[in-house]
Amino acid sequence: MSPQPPLPITWSFQPMGEAALLVQAQPDPALDPAELAANRMVLALADLLDALALPGIEAVVPAISSALIRYDPAQLPPARLHADLRRIVARLAPVPAMPTRVVTVAVRYGGAAGPDLVEVAARLGITPAEVIRLHTAQIYRVLMIGFTPGFAYAGMLPPALHLPRRSTPRTVVPQGSVAIAAGLTGIYPAVLPGGWHLIGHAELELFDPQGEPPCLLLPGDGLQFQVHPDSSVEPL
């Protein structure tokens, strides 16, 4: 694979206490949001920092468009950390636009498996079958893992599926629920409270603390949903 060209990104550094630095990536407004430039650069930065294992850096937590770097200021003064990071990001190549690994997940859409599907369709002004068709039409990218062990934030959804979170979160969301909110999609790895819209259900284990790595879906992976034959709503 040919090396990826750098992307026009503006980086900013903000302290998060005296032992952590928030590194934020702001993509050039001219870039197509679908390129997910900030996320691809942030994942590249996290991978590179892991590989470099710079003395004093204790952990890197990549998120959608930022990375939290936890460090020991006694070993690594912030001025040196900033200088090192400036050098690193100036030559940083993004992770590839096409994920190198794609995980396919079969989803039972609608009915008891996806109790919000009908309401979601009504709010979006499309049919439930169209929601399913759009949700399964592309390979999403795992942008980050957070909220709870193994919860993958994948995106971006097509604009026709954009909805804000539910105004009242559920106190109990079943494990395996496939959900959408705020332009993102995800699968609940455990029984949890949650404010996303539940459109389906998948049978799979997303998190196993005994595993290395402990997650089925990793940042940078591709995620493709397929209609399970038992879905209660047939796609178009």
Name the site residues for another protein (rule: CB under 8 A): 14-20, 22, 24, 46, 58-68, 70, 73-74, 78, 144-151, 153, 190, 207, 209-210, 213-215, 218-219
Q: Give the number of other Cβ atoms within 10 Å of residue 101's Cβ.
A: 11
Nearer to another protein (CB atom), residue 128 or residue 220: 220
How far apart are CB 15 and another protein at their closest, in Å?
Answer: 6
The least CB distance from residue 187 to another protein, in Å, is: 13
Q: Which is nearer to another protein, 17 or 229 (CB)?
A: 17
The single residue listed with the structure tokens 């302290």 is: 15
Q: Return the number of the residue (73 or 174) whose C-beta is nearest another protein.
A: 73
Q: Which two tokens stand for residue 148?
A: 């709870």
CA angle (61 as vertex; 56, 66 as ends), nearest 5: 110
The least distance separating another protein from the CB of residue 146, rounded to whole angstroms, comes to 3
What residue spans of the chain are helical by DSSP H? 37-52, 78-90, 117-124, 128-135
Return the number of the residue (69 or 227) whose C-beta is nearest another protein: 69
- The most distant pair of C-alpha atoms in the chain lies apart, rounded to whole Å, by 61
Q: How far is the CB of 169 from another protein (least distance, A)?
A: 12
List residues bridging with 59 in a β-sheet: 70
- Rounded to a whole number of angstroms, the minimum distance from the CB of residue 230 to another protein is 29
Given the complex with another protein, which of 43 and 92 has the nearer CB atom?
Answer: 43
What 3-state class would DSSP assign to 170? strand
**Alpha carbons 164 and 167: distance in angstroms, whole number:** 8
Q: In 3-state terms, what secondary structure has residue 196?
A: coil
